[in-house]
Chains A and B, each alone.
Chain A
Amino acid sequence: MPASLIDADSLLAVDIGTVTTRAVLFDVVEGHYRFIAIGRAPSTAAAPFRDVGEGVRQAIENLQAVTGRTLLTGDHKLIMPVQNGLGVDTFAASLSAGPPIKTVVAGLLADVSLESVKRLARSTYTRVVETLGMNDQRKPEEQIDSLLRLRPDLILIAGGTDGGATRSVQKLLEVIGLACYLLPAEVRPVILYAGNKALAAEVKSALEPLSSALYISPNLRPSLETEDLQPAQRILAEHYAQTRRRQMGGLDELSAWAGGMLVPTAYATGRMIRFLSQDSQNGILGVDIGASAISVMAGFGGELTMGVYPQLGLGEALSALLRYTSLDDILRWIPLDLPADSIQQYLYQKALYPGSLPAVPEDLAIEQGVARQALHLAVQAAARDFPPGAKRMGAGLLPPFDLILGGGGVLTQAPTRGQSLLMLLDAIQPTGCFTVFLDQNGLLPALGAAADRNPLLPVQVIETGAFLRLATVVAPIASARLGTPILDIRLVDQSGNETRLNVKQGALETLPLAPGHSGRLFVHPLHRADIGFGPGRAPAQGIPVSGAVLGVVIDARGRPLRFPADHVRRREIIKKWLWTLGG
């Protein structure tokens, strides 16, 4: 028995989203940690409650109803640790609810520390409202006035390599310090300093009394060539509750239950993606399509790239989505003949009621079309930060991933798993050979939040099949003309049964291989088609594949996806793709 199982701790993880609060119970069953059950309730971070506590209590009570296990006392306190079979041993929490955090970023050079500090801001639920840099032409007092007007919740400061510039950073600190001094004490921001370490002590003495909390992180750019966001991301995550405290109540109690570790949902999810990528040959991609934000996390050999895009979230932000895209770009994904007006109406109505659901097929088609476009934009934006060294199968394409993990209501609540998969393939447009999983119970943030308390738990829960395997996908890149055969495929299952398929450029095909079964996929690329092993190449011994809900899917539609100009033909082809994946 592994050493850490001696204690056999049960764990309750709570994730508070904009719409839903989830309480997830993990416990040891037959010597292994397993996902036991989930309880859900509407989140109460927004008015009239403005306190996450009620939603958390209801989610835990619903979990109690499902499991029959008492977790709360009569006065709604968590029973921890377990007493006479009641309660749980440990607790973890993550949070994505709340408006984006108004953030000011400050650094020196635009393409060095400022770029890094912006990337740090993108790793959590922020909206950058002001940028202060060395090349800022404004007078210091104009910068001060801007900060006073904006009243940021968070200021992220970088600049100066270790042992490098100090005077320019000090000028920035003076501006920030004066602005904070002039702000009423109750609205002073949280400050994170991640610049030249030689100034850390000075920053602490100067800014700590002028902020609601000051955190010092190792330098984001210890040298011009090195960027290290991880320590600052961790500090930002660990003190997330402090940053959110002004916006909603109930966080102190939750944070206390979690031993001070109430982390952003995206950070918790990112932690799992980083972990999964450690043993991966190619990258691992995680996407979470939420009401508060779309988060894109890519892990390459244990290194994580994370982008959180509140402006693309499928909740309140939808009313401003057309600032980032066009109605035509949304309409192209919709298989029904709907007027552009209906899309605009949907965007505004859904922004008013982020928790509302599509009751009729027309509304569902719009919702899924909007989700595709928003996720597409988020992935494209995140890809700019992917490591330049990650190999790609062509210019403008994403690096190949071994595994794609999708989460979020629009994917998990889709009526068919074919719809979930097609949304992911359409929006991400991945290449090569990879497996697609669906986080149907929203476990990824819970596992990530739990990892600090119990590192063994996520490993074992993932091994027990906590995620739904949607399909093994082969997405070739070929320059052949539409309709030209590009792959000869042979699937041999564990019983030796063979299925053959000739795949043409532009096609979307499936080969059934049920969950629990396995097989080998022998691919013969034609016309120098590339499935991730180089043009015209594939392993002679075949590719091992595991059964999945949708079996093996061959996505030979090309990258980027191109649609017929004729709307009728476009709608027909989208319907055909949907029909191929089961409707």
Chain B
Amino acid sequence: MLAPVTHILPLTTIRRERLLPLPGRVVARLEQKVSPVDVIAEAVMGQEHVLYDIARTFGVSPEAADKMMRVSNNETVQRGQVIAQSAGLVPRSFRADRDGRVVAVGGGQVLLEVGGGTIELYAGLPGTVTRLIPERGAEITFSGALLQGVWGNGRVDTGLMLPLLSQPDEVLKPGRLDVSLRGSVLLAGHCGEAAVLQAAAELPVRGLILASMSPALIPLALQMRYPIIVMDGFGRQAMNAVAFKLLATNVKRETTLCADPYDRHLGTRPEILIPLPAAQEPPPPRDIEAFAPNQRVRLCRAPHLGEAATLLNLLPGLTILPSGIRVPAAEVKLESGEQIVVPLANLEILG
């Protein structure tokens, strides 16, 4: 049976295409080392549009108005420039009231794109530019540790990772946050208080990695300017042992939090990226797996939500669970040594 996969890998290679939403200029160079907040491409895009109804203004038919046009498609116009002019001894003029670019002319109307701004495309992850995509962006290649979380607040930043927990089930209290942590990415357990997120913002920190978070804090977490990644889920729960061990071995390293929201359809997930040197390119993550004995798995539903385990065997047929439902299931061994039966639907592979 196909299995969902969450990547928690000590050393891997990932390649990502980063693309502008419309054609623009690529500013990155091949083999350039980039940080997540480096601009790799940019494009000019109008912020809004202005529609001039020439036919209505002059009180003529659209066809007659089209003959009066003094601008053409894609032409840049200045404020005060004549857009249309009537014929006759005393011609009447219609002038642009803003600077802009003509994007459509016809039917007695002119559509002007105004308020042009530049869209900047960030690298989004630390790594090397390994391919340029003309007019659109680049491919960035990253090597190092990769950990995927389950929730992110949409921010990106990089900093030195410092631990605020000695056990994976510790609760983070506001008093733990002091000025010595300013500019760091903090590794913590459960967060259940708004005061913690606010205190982290005041320092400020460069990011917050949490085992779990109270769902009531989601609206506040979305407002925070620093990235927040929740590793295992909502409600009070410990960080899964596999992620905890990997993060603990990488403290005091430069760590990037790309806290993209989890989107099952697009495949985006919040990710922690820790660049590490590698003699040769490590293997890429495997996105497609099937359940099999000896795999490291995580439980994504109560009881033991978020806990890591080892899959012992796949049970034949259907198994009746304590809830009474009958489903395909597997026997797993938790970190505590306890062996339990879990529906396959509640497992995901860590790898």
Contacts and interface: CB of A to CB of B under 8 A. Distances in A.
Interface of A: 41-42, 44-50, 54-55, 58, 98-99, 139-141, 144-145, 148, 174, 178, 181-182, 184, 247-248, 316, 341-342, 344-345, 347-349, 352-364, 413-416
Contacts of B107: 174
Given A48-B287, A349-B234, A360-B302, A247 B215 contact: no
A141 B51 contact: yes
A415 B325 contact: yes
B49 A357 contact: no
B22 interface: yes
Contacts of A139: 51
Nearest to A350: B301
A141 B300 contact: no
B194 interface: no
Given A47-B267, A361-B322, A352 B262 contact: yes
Contact of B265 (A247, A359, A363): A247
State the 9 A-B residue pairs at the shortest beta-carbon distance, nearest first: A47-B267, A415-B324, A345-B235, A48-B287, A364-B323, A348-B234, A356-B301, A46-B264, A141-B51
A413 B104 CA distance: 56
Contacts of B346: 353, 356-357, 359
Interface in B295-317: 300-303, 305
Contacts of B5: 48
B151 A344 contact: no
A39 to B, nearest CB: 12
Contact of A47 (B264, B305, B343): B264
B235 A415 contact: no
A349 B327 contact: no
26 contacts: A41-B2, A42-B1, A48-B5, A48-B267, A49-B288, A54-B2, A141-B49, A141-B111, A174-B107, A178-B51, A341-B215, A344-B216, A345-B215, A345-B235, A348-B151, A349-B300, A353-B300, A356-B346, A357-B345, A359-B303, A359-B343, A359-B346, A363-B301, A364-B324, A414-B325, A415-B326
A149 to B, nearest CB: 10
A141 B302 contact: no
Interface in B91-118: 103-104, 107, 109, 111
Contacts of A144: 49, 51, 111
A246 to B, nearest CB: 11
A42 B214 CA distance: 30
B97 to A, nearest CB: 13
Contacts, number: 143
A310 to B, nearest CB: 13
Nearest to B111: A178
Contacts of A41: 1-2
A360 B342 CA distance: 10
A184 B22 contact: yes
A348 B215 contact: yes
B267 A359 contact: no
Contacts of A98: 265
Contact of B323 (A49, A174, A247, A358): A358
B151 A352 contact: yes
Given A353-B348, A357-B327, A359-B303, 12 more contacts: A48-B287, A98-B265, A184-B22, A341-B214, A345-B233, A345-B235, A348-B233, A349-B235, A349-B302, A358-B301, A362-B302, A414-B325
Residue from A45, A48, A359 with most neighbouring chain B CB atoms (10 Å): A359
B234 A358 contact: no
B30 interface: no
B234 A345 contact: yes
B281 interface: no
B150 interface: yes
Contacts of A341: 214-216, 235
Contacts of A148: 49
Contacts of A178: 51, 104, 111
B266 interface: yes
Contacts of A361: 322-324
Contact of B321 (A345, A354, A359): A359
